[in-house]
Amino acid sequence: MEVLEAIRRRRAVRDYLPNSVPVATLRQLITAASWAPSAMNQQPWHFTVVTERAMLDDISVRSKAWLLKTASDMSSSDHFRDMLRDPHFHLFYGAPALVVISTPVSAQWSVEDCSLAAQNLMLAAVDLHLGSCWIGFAQGWLNTPEGRECLGLSASSCVVAPITIGYPRSEAPLVSRKAPIVTWIGVLPSAESGPPGSSNSPPSHP
């Protein structure tokens, strides 16, 4: 699949089939994530893969309770509070796997680096006919001492991206995008110009 097509087709999937994702496929996703750029090539990411249903259920319950207790200024509070209080609402939407991207060190730009790895992982999921969703609701509790202990992470670790992985129950609808706001600084190249060596490029010498 072309990269631009994968970018357009990626959606936040919130309804999964119960089918498990093969270990080899999960490894493919992590390998793709590990090819993300990182500051000074430090590659500060750590991947924790959770496929144990009981643990996924426990993280969901604890994360919901933590949010209800701590997020007093939650936007659209009534809607989200009702959702979090619903015992039938599962934070991971029935996904068979959760990939948690964390960084063991609080180095400068490590959170940005892990975010880049997360985007690689989600785009690779599209190419492998999988769905994904970055579950922001889980980040708070997973960054508590209890949450880190649950995942076997060190006390200094920072959980950046808990991402569900699974087979979508149905194809997510296309979502329109706002026109990007762009400020151009400098002389714009002509539409006829192209990369070096292309037929549209000017010759490199007289």
State yes or no: pLDDT of 198 exceeds 70. no
Please say whether the beta carbons of 64 and 136 come within 8 A.
Answer: no
**121's tokens:** 């992982």
Sorting pLDDT into bands at 50, 70 and 90, what band is 206?
very low
Q: What is the pLDDT of residues 117-147, one digit of tens each?
A: 999 999 999 999 999 999 999 999 999 999 9
Q: What is the pLDDT of residues 43-54, one digit of tens each?
A: 999 999 999 999
**pTM, two decimal places:** 0.87
Q: What is the 3-state secondary structure (H, E, C) of the chain?
A: CCHHHHHHHCCECCCECCCCCCHHHHHHHHHHHHCCCCHHHCCCCEEEEECCHHHHHHHHHHHHHHHHHHCCCCCCHHHHHHHHHCCCCCCCCCCCEEEEEEECCCCCCHHHHHHHHHHHHHHHHHHCCCEEEECHHHHHHHCCHHHHHHHCCCCCCEEEEEEEEECECCCCCCCCCCCCCCCCCCCCCCCCCCCCCCCCCCCCCC
Over the chain, what is the mean pLDDT?
90
Domain ranges of the chain: 3-166
Please say whether the beta carbons of 158 and 128 come within 8 A.
Answer: no
Phi, psi of 53 (to 5 degrees): -60, -40
The architecture that CATH gives domain 3-166 is: 3-Layer(aba) Sandwich (3.40)
State yes or no: pLDDT of 202 exceeds 70. no
